[in-house]
Structure 1
């Protein structure tokens, strides 16, 4: 007989037939309950709506609170800092200043597992995200809260959120598995890149490893809303090509009626040197009263026997183009029936012609026997080269390194905001489409504030694999007394540092391929400083393939071969959104420079633009 034992577990009673079996099963139940409790702890904690005063007084309802800039200014008397969008790290004494100064001698590691999740948003023009993370277990007892900042790459948009714990709460190592959430970051531009930084508070006196940054891209309009709701991203998806004799007919689907699009354009260009008659342009105006879903048009002027690459898009600026191929075939026509001559007349004539032809061939073979033998002895290397030209495409491996090459871009801001935007768009294109990690001072404002402008540039020059100097007219201007302490003279100082390094490397016979100089199309060769006279020079965007070859060490030309990378050629880079933005920014910068020079000539060398000076 076994004595029955019963135990109460929560709202349930569990009974067992033996004490040993009861202990074993109870241990399993407790283990399962601990696992379930651990899973409940992983639920993300959202911030509460409470005041900073409640946090400092240790109110029971203030566990994890969102704090606004106005609340900080009202409670602590600390004014809002608009320069960096209120994204300045809060020091220790702001939160714990009333206690002993020894409390501030702490060290809190950066949060980890930072993730970005998209949130449903009814606004079709913008995106909304929520950031979540886990605190580090190192120094967690000193943790008082978090600061989350979000900045647009290549733009000025910046937003910050501040979250604090109650003053009486002291976190333990078990809280390192807790997931914390931010409030929603809304009105983010679709199809843009952002950098989000989660910072542990208070900021340690040792400025190292107290924040974690990650980059992400918002959804494009078609990804969020669907292609049928995005006019700027819409393009014909269904294209059918038919050939009737020498007439080529293309049928495509029309844009939705609510887009109010009534005009399209199409381009066709042939392959090879002759190009099939050059570039063909077509303007298409469908009649929506006949058919609202599809339209057909004729490709006129195409040459028989050529392969053409064609594009079709809405006739608007920066419209997305749909590419398709057209092969104009030779249509064989049956000859008209003619009178058949008599077989008795054709037979003797045919026999005579055949005999004459045989005699002629024998004479040629007998006279040129040695020459024919020599010609038949073909060099195997020639055959191999011929097959290499006609064979499969060559696959080029860039490098065996695990990380992309690191490129530092230096420039002068003396040529105005349009020139700076062109540099920024170039950096975006290089990072997105040329497999390169770009360092740009505009993207690293936090490190600039910590190290200073020159300190940041010196460190990045040492860390980078390559350094590209964008030369312009403003780079030649010598700093004046008015520039003392400003960032205007930074580019000239960096160029001087490079000149010294290049001089030492040249004297010792070391490699100087790390340094490069480039100009945009609106600049001139004389804008390149004398210190960079020995480095490779490029004109952008024309020399994008050469710059790609320099950075990745890939040869564009080989015997009988030419490596062509379509999306970085002078004609192909504008098909990408980043390439089109780069082309437009270079055009705007060139126009701004021309207008500025005319203004300088008109006013006798005195600029009317406060941001650009006459050179």
Structure 2
């Protein structure tokens, strides 16, 4: 008796470790229940044969209610039951030849509730914050009945390839058949693909490299910093170092001599204040390079005056000499005062006017901006996705520059894709339009496009579906336009709403709904945008506000400003190569 129980326990343990990979079989073999057709992948060609039309698109081989379409013709009762959602979903990265892309395989276990009616699975993968979508369909034989012990079997999908490195995705595993009134037939999981460093190694990813070894030594008044250089295979030849303390910033470019040492380099930090604690950053002179942060404390130099014993006659001599200097200064001041009183009697009126103008000019001074807010202002940036990735990259670089160097908290849909996927695009935009202090709409040619209806019955291709995914631009313009119209009709202030164009956009790219609000031309109007965000005048009688690294001449001195300038230049080249705006048509089903 106990021997039989041991055998049964062993069989259950083997079932726990059993895994099932998809089989390459036809739909005919699956329906007839032939050998080797127990757990089959269904490709798009098989689906085309059943439906009688070319069902191409992002859904691939997945169709709504596949059980009824593919297995319900001979016996409709096969698809009238329900099974509960799969569980224990795992995502495993698999090797791929492309170093810039990742590949994964999804595995899961079926639920034991209703497993005897299980007909297959449908696995879909969605890119968070993007339009990428892939789907795979797997079916069992109609005459196959699973028992409760098969709930420990691990089922696997085919490989999902072409995934971006370091990106977020959501995978959904659905149990078939799907009932009409049941909410627990699928299970979703969010995961991230491997980073460049995880897949290819640290030495093959320039964007992830940063100096790991930094040593600081002080020799008298000079601070010497030693750091490790990037491997020669990366081609990095220059670096930069920035130090901040007491409201002051010092920066230095570093170009090491690789012929002397290819592994380490030392340089001196000068013009540092004694007794100050500096926070420094060092990185490769590349766009968006990772920075290594380290601290430098500049020691005070001890004075050598106290180590010598001066004789008393020397102190007396110094005292007499100082008294003589004071006497001479007082005498000179008294003589100048007498000369001034004499000249007042013969001074001319035109000299008085000139003197008054000179005094007025002297009162004009550069004053630093003193923030009078406890929290930075919030800014929502809206834009069009119909103008290509180069334009979207320019918008992202603009948002990064505003948040880093203009003391403003920026909200951007591509930075908050996970929250947007939970709330929905319209709910996310409505909440930020309501809660943000300011709204900036970056206008371009794609923002003024309007969708045209496509002929009925014509399927959508990939480009049309991609363009439909960006229809939120038109809805976003209407939402902001309604708020502007409501403010105008109520006599409210319009300072919350702003529009901006890059130098490759035109005046006509601003939608009619947004033309009543203030308009900026970037990057020339960055100081005006800063003035609006912080509610401070740039000029006042005798004074003007100077904001470092914000003007059109100085913003490229910072890495974020250089990245913004390069992104605008690339977008300008890409936009000039696009077809005319009136030829670009968006189609949506009627």
TM-score, reference length from structure 1: 0.59
Q: 2:104 aligns with which of 98, 113, 129?
A: 129
Match of 2:144 in 1: 169
1:61 aligns with 2:63: no
Q: Deviations over 1:308-351 (max 9, x none)?
A: 433333344443322223233332242498673259997xx9xx
Alignment of 1:297-316 (within 5 A): 297-316=267-286
Q: 2:226 aligns with which of 251, 254, 265?
A: 251
2:241–2:283 CA contact under 8 A, matched in 1 = no
Match of 2:255 in 1: 283
2:59–2:135 CA contact under 8 A, matched in 1 = no
Structure with more relative contact order (C-alpha pairs < 8 Å, separation 6 or more): 2
Moved more, 90-99 or 202-211: 202-211
Deviation at 1:284, TM superposition (A): 2.7
1:87–1:159 CA contact under 8 A, matched in 2 = no
Task: Please state whether the residue corresponding to 1:42 is helix, strand or coil.
Answer: helix
Deviation at 1:253, TM superposition (A): 1.7
Alignment of 1:312-323 (within 5 A): 312-323=282-293
**Pairs aligned (count):** 484
Match of 2:70 in 1: 95
Question: Hey, what's the Cα distance between the residues in 2 that align with 1:436 and 1:524?
Answer: 29
* Alignment RMSD (CA, Å): 5.8
Gaps of 5+ in 2: 320-374, 401-409, 457-466, 491-495, 534-554
Deviation at 1:198, TM superposition (A): 1.8
Match of 1:324 in 2: 294
Task: Please state whether the residue corresponding to 1:279 is helix, strand or coil.
Answer: strand
Question: Hey, what's the Cα distance between the residues in 1 that align with 2:305 and 2:123?
Answer: 80
Q: Deviations over 1:415-441 (max 9, x none)?
A: 55544566789999969997884326x
Question: Hey, what's the Cα distance between the residues in 2 that align with 1:464 and 1:336?
Answer: 65
Deviation at 1:125, TM superposition (A): 4.8
Match of 2:119 in 1: 144
Distance 1:420 1:202, change over 3 A: farther
Question: Hey, what's the Cα distance between the residues in 2 that align with 1:38 and 1:409?
Answer: 57
Q: 1:438 aligns with which of 419, 436, 443?
A: 419
Deviation at 1:587, TM superposition (A): 6.4
Distance 1:315 1:609, change over 3 A: farther
Match of 2:3 in 1: 9
Q: Deviations over 1:472-495 (max 9, x none)?
A: 255874848779999587644565
Question: Hey, what's the Cα distance between the residues in 1 that align with 2:263 and 2:257?
Answer: 14
Q: Deviations over 1:191-232 (max 9, x none)?
A: 222222223334555695543332211222333454244344
Distance 1:231 1:496, change over 3 A: closer
Question: Hey, what's the Cα distance between the residues in 2 that align with 1:207 and 1:459?
Answer: 26
Alignment of 1:176-195 (within 5 A): 176-195=151-170
Question: Hey, what's the Cα distance between the residues in 2 that align with 1:583 and 1:212?
Answer: 44
1:262–1:286 CA contact under 8 A, matched in 2 = no
Question: Hey, what's the Cα distance between the residues in 1 that align with 2:9 and 2:84?
Answer: 27
Match of 2:580 in 1: 607
Match of 1:271 in 2: 245
Alignment of 1:536-555 (within 5 A): none
Task: Please state whether the residue corresponding to 1:94 is helix, strand or coil.
Answer: helix
Question: Hey, what's the Cα distance between the residues in 1 that align with 2:149 and 2:11?
Answer: 12
Question: Hey, what's the Cα distance between the residues in 2 that align with 1:82 and 1:411?
Answer: 27
TM-score, reference length from structure 2: 0.61
Distance 1:103 1:533, change over 3 A: farther
1:519–1:525 CA contact under 8 A, matched in 2 = no
Alignment of 1:186-585 (within 5 A): 186-205=161-180, 210-257=185-232, 259=233, 261=235, 263-273=237-247, 275=248, 278-287=250-259, 290-335=260-305, 340-342=310-312, 412-413=384-385, 415=387, 418-419=390-391, 437-439=418-420, 470=441, 472-473=443-444, 477=448, 479=450, 487=468, 491-493=473-475, 495-496=477-478
Question: Hey, what's the Cα distance between the residues in 1 that align with 2:387 and 2:298?
Answer: 51
Distance 1:75 1:176, change over 3 A: same
Question: Hey, what's the Cα distance between the residues in 1 that align with 2:243 and 2:131?
Answer: 41
1:198–1:211 CA contact under 8 A, matched in 2 = yes
Question: Hey, what's the Cα distance between the residues in 2 that align with 1:426 and 1:225?
Answer: 31
Distance 1:342 1:457, change over 3 A: closer
Distance 1:70 1:591, change over 3 A: same
Distance 1:8 1:176, change over 3 A: closer
Task: Please state whether the residue corresponding to 2:267 is helix, strand or coil.
Answer: strand
Alignment of 1:108-127 (within 5 A): 108-119=83-94, 125-127=100-102
1:49 aligns with 2:49: no
Deviation at 1:249, TM superposition (A): 1.5
Distance 1:107 1:533, change over 3 A: farther
Match of 1:563 in 2: none
Q: Deviations over 1:95-138 (max 9, x none)?
A: 22423556544545443332213346687554432212233455
Deviation at 1:177, TM superposition (A): 4.5
Gaps of 5+ in 1: 1-6, 11-29, 350-395, 397-406, 445-455, 509-514, 550-570, 600-605
Question: Hey, what's the Cα distance between the residues in 2 that align with 1:113 and 1:37?
Answer: 21
